[in-house]
Amino acid sequence: MANKKPTLKDIANVLNISTAAVSKAMQGNSRISDKTKQAVKKVAEELNYQPNHLASALRKGKSNLVGVIVPRTNSNFFSSVIENIEEVLNKKGYQIIITQSNESYKRECANIDTLLFTQVDGIIASMANETTDLSYFEKIKSKEIPLILFDRGENDLNVDYIGINDYDCSHLIIAHLVSQGKKRIGHIGGFSRSRIFNNRIRGYIDAIKKYNLPSDGELLLESSLTLEDGREKMLQLLALNNPPDAVYVAGDYAALGALQVLQENNIAIPDSMAIVGFGNEPFTGIVTPSLSTINQHSDKIGRLAAETFLALVEKTYLKQSLNKQILTAELIVRDSSRILT
């Protein structure tokens, strides 16, 4: 770098006093004369000296920064969680810095390194789709930095977690579709290696059994849940000899892709095919037909994650038991699955 940052020593050299005296003058120490204090102030300004807050935070072991890792910021769920985390933590004097993994394990590892590098006081994270190796998250734990997971977490990590009752949500959705007269229900699910998507898949399978509906393997597809993959998986379901009359999609973007495919193929929604998404993204209320979906309570999740972090730092790790908070999500029924009789 061309410009080396001025230090206390540079100020001391100009004034021909000790670095310690400059430091004391800056801290307003009463043993330093007002004249010296003013001289130090003047020289500091002239040199454009910037007190190094970070170095001071390093000494004190506290940065007042909290790192947040999300799979992507371009999702109303994640940005709403972030907003709510921020609201709670800002009030307590913490600033948050955000990193995104873009669903990549490699990037998530880099995110963790970055946040540890910036000496965050804690990390609140939701895991990437790709992540199966937990060693990077173990690294956070091993440093005794509070780690709170939300939405996409892993039981094996044994850390505090805020999420919703994914398994029950599947039951809610299947019960609703059955009540609308649907008899052959498919599921475009997330990757089963991810705990939350696995819970949704298990919930789907159990609910299908409960209602004695056909549970052909071809009706259950794993997906990355992007809009594009939602399109692809719906085309796959439509190509079946015996296609479903309703599909529960584990993410709103994929549900939107599925909806587009149905419209392009002139399939009546919801009469020939009903669709239910997951996440209550804002577009779900404005598309035609409007999309039934699950409200995940991103606001509560964000607030609880922030409060869990605060509880952890205030208790300085004396906590003995884990704090798993599972919120009850709600089904929002809209035109894509409401049969008018």
* Interacting residues toward its own copies by CB under 8 A: 1-5, 48, 50, 52-55, 57-58, 61-63, 65, 72-74, 76, 79-80, 82-83, 86, 90, 95-100, 102, 107, 110-111, 113-114, 116-119, 142-144, 256, 260, 282-283, 286-288, 316-318
Given the complex with its own copies, which of 174 and 301 has the nearer CB atom?
301
Q: Give Cβ neighbours of residue 192 (< 8 Å, ≥ 6 apart).
A: 198, 201, 222
The maximal CA–CA distance of the chain, rounded, in angstroms, is: 91
Sheet with 185-189, edge to edge strand ranges: 220-222, 185-189, 246-249, 274-276
Given the complex with its own copies, which of 211 and 283 has the nearer CB atom?
283
Nearest distance from C-beta of residue 217 to its own copies, angstroms: 31
Name the DSSP letter for residue 244.
-
Q: Give Cβ neighbours of residue 166 (< 8 Å, ≥ 6 apart).
A: 196, 197, 199, 200, 203
Nearest distance from C-beta of residue 318 to its own copies, angstroms: 7
Given the complex with its own copies, which of 191 and 283 has the nearer CB atom?
283
Nearest distance from C-beta of residue 274 to its own copies, angstroms: 19
Nearest distance from C-beta of residue 118 to its own copies, angstroms: 4
- Distance separating alpha carbons of residues 326 and 166, to the nearest angstrom: 9
Nearest distance from C-beta of residue 279 to its own copies, angstroms: 13
Given the complex with its own copies, which of 7 and 325 has the nearer CB atom?
7
Given the complex with its own copies, which of 95 and 155 has the nearer CB atom?
95
- Distance separating alpha carbons of residues 162 and 326, to the nearest angstrom: 6
Type and span of the H or E element at 195 = helix 195-210
